[in-house]
Structure 1
């Protein structure tokens, strides 16, 4: 039998566990040295006007369904003209076989225009403008259940850039309300509940200052060590490249000090902190490769109501935000999930620590490429 050598996380292939999804990612740090002869994208440095008369989202313009946008001067939201789901009450069809299952759902999709200017991104907005976006999220999360009694989960997200399938460059995101809990948040909620259950006792453990909370404990771990994966921090939130990251420059934004189940539980100061750290992460991204960094960003939080209206079922849910950007080595080389990653498990070359160092070293104030 060969003699084992010392483990080196910067050279040795290894797997890392994701406690939010109960899954693993293969890390192959030695592969960062391989040459790249694959697909090259166009660098995203859009030169857009502040107003585009052909844009369906700009203030005052007519949308594709004939409705006109108001002359909004801040954040504006409306029901998506091409919603993926819509309110309906239909009977469940009879399944012809145990392997063939169908479940009708209902819901509604909203578009949230972040800013009236067509040529802004979160990185290019003032923190006060991003705060207006956070306020819109809070409003929709709180008001939608009153109008849509069947809603169980509200998914808030943004797709930024054509590389992430965004069809309109106007700064905007989406809010989908659905009558079920989608698979990804369902996994995260289940794992948080399991962590709380497995780590609970008659009293809080001496090394904790709070009841067991998976993401709060993880935040405390990252902040209590070398902070090698911490990329942004303020009074209430921390952003890290998670130890188990799949995407090269993936980040996770989470509360740094307390249990916050959803955006509806944010105080005014916490809303400001969240707006500030979202803008900082976006700025740091843009300055890694001097381009408008594409990503999908989304919130995971407490469902608006639990199955059977059991309000305690998701008591341990912790608000957190994922940034999944596709860029790998430069503004023109992106990450693809193919081959072993589709058939086996996710794999990455650049370690989370290496990615965090690149983000830490980037400018947190304003995109250089846009100046």
Structure 2
């Protein structure tokens, strides 16, 4: 049995699920769907863009002539602040409950032609500060604050302007509740924090680490589902974004730029992904089991035009991948470290 060549399963302790790994399948020819990568340069300001400075949005509101990050209430939010409380539990098979919350948009920059890794580190640091400011504001009212970015049309982004989203809800979503259970159980059974211990062991092995700095590590998790999935972890125990100190915010901006630039260099394209932050729910007092982390889920598999689909077996049985986590990490790690600042266009 050779785990680098033969089919095997890997356990994801964070989700409590298994992942089927089939390394031998990476040699099969591809005759499936190919995507069209973005090749045309974008202007610094697009008069037709709803997110550019000074432009009118779809609901008639006009953006200020902003510079740097901008946050505003989503014009078409998934959650509404004034939803009346209600619950229907007349049958265990037909249950429903109201959902209340708010949705905000964060533009990373006024520049329409920039993505997060194209921004200077000091500008990314401003985005980090806005994430934390918005988290602290919404955490006073809501049970959960979701901070995430969908980058690229392949991941459902309807606008190429660099932006992310912040959704706050009066409930704790299913994925977060699952991670709360698994991390709590690990602390009870093993006596240590799951992701703090995991980060330490990955640093010791240096097999799946793709980037690291003084305060952070980026790793292709042992149990990764997406081909070039990464997990971003602070080195010290830190339950929430709001717990980061000044130095950790600086080094977070640094590693975000370096990681995303390596993604772009992997297939020489603006690498699509969905990323988001998980940490202890705002009202939770017991946070010893929680460790702050960001998931990066990029869909590209073989090139800028071939993506991974979660279909068939993945939907009906369990997640499956061809490229091993170690092979993916080696691919990303081998890229040049592009930490130099970009010159202004």
**Given the two structures, how large is their TM-score scaled by the length of structure 1?**
0.90
Match of 2:226 in 1: 247
Offset from partner CA, 1:36-83 (integer Å, 9 cap, x none): 000011123341001001111111111111111111111110110110
Match of 1:138 in 2: 132
Matched, 1:90 2:63: no
Match of 2:103 in 1: 109
Give the unaligned 5+ runs of structure 2.
Answer: none
8 Å Cα contact 1:285-1:362 kept in structure 2: no
Match of 1:231 in 2: 210
Matched, 1:216 2:196: yes
- Which whole-Å CA distance do the structure 1 matches of 2:83 and 2:150 have between them? 30
The partner residue of 1:281 within 259, 262, 269 is 259
- Which whole-Å CA distance do the structure 2 matches of 1:299 and 1:364 have between them? 24
**Residue 366 of structure 1, CA deviation:** 6.8
Match of 1:207 in 2: none
3-state SS of paired residue (2:291): coil
Match of 1:208 in 2: none
User: Considering only aligned residues, what root-mean-square deviation do their CA atoms show, in Å?
Assistant: 1.5
**Residue 228 of structure 1, CA deviation:** 1.4
3-state SS of paired residue (2:210): strand
- Which whole-Å CA distance do the structure 1 matches of 2:305 and 2:132 have between them? 36
**Residue 320 of structure 1, CA deviation:** 0.1
Matched, 1:361 2:340: no
- Which whole-Å CA distance do the structure 2 matches of 1:216 and 1:67 have between them? 45
**Residue 88 of structure 1, CA deviation:** 2.2
**Residue 199 of structure 1, CA deviation:** 2.0
8 Å Cα contact 2:229-2:297 kept in structure 1: yes
The partner residue of 1:261 within 228, 236, 239 is 239
Match of 2:65 in 1: 71
Match of 1:162 in 2: 153
8 Å Cα contact 1:44-1:293 kept in structure 2: no
8 Å Cα contact 2:238-2:291 kept in structure 1: yes
**Residue 180 of structure 1, CA deviation:** 0.8
**Residue 186 of structure 1, CA deviation:** 1.3
Matched, 1:193 2:175: no
Match of 2:277 in 1: 299
**Residue 295 of structure 1, CA deviation:** 0.3
Give the unaligned 5+ runs of structure 1.
Answer: 1-6, 201-211
**Given the two structures, how large is their TM-score scaled by the length of structure 2?**
0.96
Match of 2:25 in 1: 31
Larger Rg: 1
